[in-house]
Every structure is written in C-alpha cells, then in structure tokens.
Amino acid sequence: MLESFIDTQKFSVMRSMRKTFARYLAFRRDNNELLLFILKQLVSEQVAYQRNRYGAQQDTIEIPEKDLVDKARQISIHNLSVFYDSDAFRSNKFSHDTKKKLILQQF
C-alpha cells in the first residue's frame, strides 16, 4: 500500500519518499526473496519426487498453493498476492492458477 501511495506522487516527492521509507519498501522486497527461496525449495522437492517416481522430469511442475501458504505463515507472512504479482515470481517462470489453487513453473 505504501508503494502505491508513493507511486502516485510527483517525481521529486516520490524520490524523497522512497528515500525516507526505504527500509519499509526493502522489507517487502526481502519477503519476496524469502518466498521465492521457499518456493524454489518446494519445486526442488517436487522435481526429485517426480524423477524418482516417473524416471523423468515433466515440463511443468505443480505446487499446491496451500504448501507455500503454510510455509509462509510459519515465518509470519500472510498476504502472498504481492509475491504472485512480483517480477521475481514471473521472471522465474512461475504462474499462479487461482481456480485450481496451484503454482506452476514451466521448464
């Protein structure tokens, strides 16, 4: 929410506000990095399972959304919508299927 408010300001005010609130803005970025690390661990576990079970890796890995939500709650992160919209999430070829409640990664 702070990010949205800052983005609506004029450039000079926005730059000043970013500098003033940098630690709060960096906190969210750190959460995204932490969530990405956790998600990559879940993917790694799923890849190992599929390799052992089927003998080969599939093109798409599916992680139940609940698995990431549970791990995030353990570290007091409750809102994942910012993470799902982040560049880090998309640049690592992840997508979020809200209907099936799955996180998908393409290889």
Cα–Cα distance, 17 to 2 (Å, whole number):
10
CA distance 81 to 26: 17
pLDDT per position as a tens digit, 15-60: 787 777 766 665 555 889 999 999 999 999 999 999 999 888 789 9
Q: Report how far residue 32's alpha carbon sits from residue 70's, in angstroms, rounded to the nearest whole number.
A: 15
Q: Is the pTM of this model over 0.75?
A: no
Q: For residue 2, what pLDDT is reported?
A: 56
